[in-house]
Structure 1
Amino acid sequence: MEGNIGELGQFMGAGLAAIGSGIAAVGVGNVAANYLGGALRNPSAAASQTATLFIGLAFAEALGIFAFLVALLLLFAV
Structure 2
Amino acid sequence: MRTVGRHQRPPDPVLPTDADARLDAIGSRRAVVEEGIVVFPESAAPYAYRTVHRPDGGVDHHLVRLEPPPPPLPL
Give the TM-score band, short-chain normalised: under 0.3
Q: Which has the larger radius of gyration?
A: 2
Normalized per residue, which structure has more strand?
Answer: 2
Normalized per residue, which structure has more helix?
Answer: 1
Higher relative contact order (CA 8 A, sep 6+): 1
